[in-house]
Amino acid sequence: MDDSCVVCAETLLWVAYGSCGHREVCSTCVIRLRFICDDRRCCLCKSESNIIFVTKALGDYTRMINDFSVFPADPIEGQVGQYWYHEGTQAYFDDMDHYKMIKAMCRLSCIVCDKKNEQRNEGSKRRAGFKNIEQLRGHLFHQHRLFMCSLCLEGRKVRYVCMK
């Protein structure tokens, strides 16, 4: 296995894989495909994986899960036994810090409200999250008279909302 992601060519630090076991794609690319594009297929073999496992990339020593039935059938967001589960991407993590980073990356929040809260020193404790992009668009329009471009949202499904 090479030490670069086959999708973005960045150094593999974290990998995400499904039941097919292909570990050549970084967790950021796999999560992006699942969260933004709603694509649950492996980048290499195109087999569908309802759940994935995210772990540190260690080449031949990367932690392998061969039997995905060890994971609960109906998990809830957060810690599940020795793992952390991200509901939006149906991903299990063996590292809490990486789970928190991915969870923050996938979070839909209002940048206007976030900036106001930062200025009031209220920080992240008052950040409102939205369940989907439509809720965020409605909030932006009704509260701030701002619009999210539909063309950009649909035609450029390559970045997380927090990266736009």
Condensed to tens digits (0 to 9), the pLDDT of residues 1-52 reads 459 999 999 999 999 999 999 999 999 999 999 988 889 999 999 999 999 9
143 in the same domain as 115: yes
Q: What is the mean pLDDT of residues 121-149?
A: 79
pLDDT in tens, 72-111: 988 999 999 999 999 999 999 999 999 999 998 888 888 8
- Quote the number of domains for the chain: 2
**Whether pLDDT at 163 is above 50:** no
Q: Could you tell me if 144 and 80 lie in one domain?
A: no
User: What pLDDT score was predicted for residue 149?
Assistant: 82
Mark whether 51 and 117 lie in a shared domain.
Answer: no
Asked if residue 139 and residue 98 are part of one domain, the reply reads: no
Alpha helices (H) along the chain? 27-35, 96-105, 111-119, 133-144, 150-155
| Shared-domain flag, residues 151 and 88 | no
**Is residue 74 in some structural domain?**
yes
Question: Which of 65, 85, 105 is at the close of a domain?
Answer: 105
Among the candidates 86, 105, 124, a domain finishes at: 105
Outline where DSSP puts E strands in the chain. Answer: 14-17, 52-56, 78-80, 83-86, 91-93, 108-109, 129-130
Domain encompassing residue 65: 14-105
Domain boundary among 58, 83, 105: 105
- Give a yes or no: residue 8 inside a domain: no
| 118 against 138, higher pLDDT | 138
**Which band of pLDDT confidence, cut at 50, 70 and 90, is reported for residue 152?**
confident
112 in a structural domain: yes
Residue 95 and residue 71 share a domain: yes
Note whether 67 and 130 are same-domain residues.
no
In tens, the pLDDT along 54-63 reads 999 999 999 9
Poorest-pLDDT segment among 24-33, 115-124, 139-148: 115-124
| Same domain membership, residue 141 and residue 120 | yes
> Do 19 and 91 belong to one domain?
yes
Q: Check whether 164 has a pLDDT greater than 50.
A: no
C-alpha 158/C-alpha 143 separation (Å) is 27
